Structure 1
Amino acid sequence: CLLSLTSRRKPQRPTPTCRFIENAEGKYISPFHDIPMYADESQKIFHMVVEVPRWTNAKMEIGTKDLLNPIKQDVKKGKLRYVANVFPHKGYIWNYGAIPQTWEDPAHKDGDTGCCGDNDPIDVCEIGSKVCSRGEVIKVKALGILAMIDEGETDWKVIAIDVEDSEAKDFNNIGDVQRLKPGYLEATVDWFRRYKIPDGKPENKFAFNDEFKDKDFAIEVIKSTHNFWKDLISQKTGAGELNCKNTCVSVGDNSYCCTADEAKAAVETHPCGKAESIPSSVDKWFYFEKK
């Protein structure tokens, strides 16, 4: 059953650097492959795996190359990675995560952006009032989408809201975000444009003149990334370094399937790294003129 999902740190590892997902039966699963994309297909409600709670800085992501794809903290040059604060932003300004069973194919050149996919599940910015927990699996409705170009790769950003949020009934398309949360979309573009500058990288670019596309467009993009994922899991497309092991997917020829015991063994042997305190430098603000 995947209607109730929880996350758990590896036993005896009190560290946020590695987190596995369990189903309602307490069995470990892959958040990339095992959780259905749709929570309710008829209503176009999607599952979202929360990687980064709002206001936090640790750059957590689904480990697409690791067995069972735990949510893990990115490492750069041997150090845990934290996103920099570019004034006036502090940490991630939404609950940030991904839609399972989607994949931005690095071999597919997108007709709108002119760039290939970034080899990851499609990203989601959840704009509701609640600060979610890392590893939480929520149900969201898509409101719109932003086409970011990150170092020459297509990196779609879905704007969505948790259907259980107290404000959800008022948000049904991207125009509602502009009307009810004025400045939020502009802040989102600014955040994505400049967040890598403190690391010495250039500003990110966007298709469609930096404009968000609407709900219908977003849903079509999500569906296309689901089709790319189906080709991946059925081996119509090469996986490369991606780890496609899963416990319950039944899409075509699923030779990637593993048993619950194999999944448990993988968790027990997975190297999560040593616990580290968050450095004080994470709270620093960086200031840059807007171009």
Structure 2
Amino acid sequence: MKQTSRSASALSRLSLTQQHLIPSRCSSTLVPDIIPFNQGTKYTPDYSNYATTPHGKIVSYFHDIALDLNEQTKEANIVVEIPRWTNAKFEIDTKLPGNPIVQDTKKGKVRFVKNLFPHHGYIHNYGAFPQTWEDPTTEHHGLLGDNDPVDVCEIGSKILSTGDIKRVKILGALALIDDGELDWKVIVVNVQDPLAGKVNDINDLNDKCPDY
């Protein structure tokens, strides 16, 4: 299967970023059996979504979920932070113990994204690759990393849930600049989605789903 330069670049970037973090303590052969545990009131600063095992142990969405990157199949695991068509800006907190998913705040208030007509909220499932990190001390293309896990935009048809761990196929990546920092967005599709069997890169996506 021939990779385009864009999808190959995304794979190379993930291989590099995961090297900064500790090895996984979860199985790297299967998507781990994680049960999200909610604490606090949703849409308030005290809300936290923790990853727990079936035995009730808290594990880190950031460190303990296996990325399990397969460069031959272009597959990896993701952590879902924000379901499609919702507005609340949830993200893995890399500083809190246990690294739960929390709602981002600005000036003490929780953040929501605006609607972009005719859509509502995020137009895709949004999340991050576990065990990856954009180094804020290393320059790429003259820009420093944003000190967060690498972001993903999952474009399958199913609305996923905060805390879901999904196996995805990597199609390509967009490099954005956010407040002077390099902020990658990797385009992926759930391997269980019917679209996954029809597309292998961004060019395929343009052919199968024009303007998507």
For the aligned pair, the TM-score class normalised by the smaller chain equals: 0.7 to 0.9
SS at match of 1:85: coil
Paired position in structure 2 for 1:158? 186
Deviation at 1:51, TM superposition (A): 0.3
Q: Which has the higher strand share?
A: 2
Paired position in structure 1 for 2:124? 94
Amino acid aligned to 2:37:
R
Which of 70, 76, 81 is 2:111 aligned to? 81
CA distance in 2, matches of 1:151, 1:40: 32
Q: Does 1:15 align with 2:42?
A: yes
Q: Does 1:5 align with 2:34?
A: yes
Which of 99, 103, 108 is 1:69 aligned to? 99
CA distance in 2, matches of 1:100, 1:107: 20
Paired position in structure 1 for 2:63? 33
For these two proteins, the number of residue pairs brought into alignment is 180
Deviation at 1:27, TM superposition (A): 1.6
Amino acid aligned to 1:15:
K
* Distance change >3 Å, CA 166–CA 25, structure 1 → 2: farther
Deviation at 1:42, TM superposition (A): 5.3
CA distance in 1, matches of 2:182, 2:81: 20
Which of 142, 145, 162 is 1:134 aligned to? 162
Paired position in structure 2 for 1:116? 144
User: Normalization by structure 1: what TM-score?
Assistant: 0.59
Amino acid aligned to 2:63:
H
Amino acid aligned to 1:158:
V
Superposed structure 1 runs of 4+ greater than 2 Å apart: 13-17, 23-26, 39-44, 86-89
User: Normalization by structure 2: what TM-score?
Assistant: 0.80
CA distance in 1, matches of 2:61, 2:37: 13
SS at match of 2:112: coil
SS at match of 1:43: coil
Deviation at 1:173, TM superposition (A): 0.7
* Distance change >3 Å, CA 24–CA 176, structure 1 → 2: farther
Deviation at 1:90, TM superposition (A): 1.7
Please list every run of 5 or more consecutive structure 2 residues that lacks an aligned counterpart in the other structure: 1-25
Paired position in structure 2 for 1:51? 81
CA distance in 2, matches of 1:42, 1:21: 29
Q: Does 1:104 align with 2:131?
A: no
Preserved contact between residue 126 and residue 161 of structure 1 (Cα < 8 Å): yes
Deviation at 1:171, TM superposition (A): 1.5
SS at match of 2:185: strand
Q: Percent identity?
A: 51
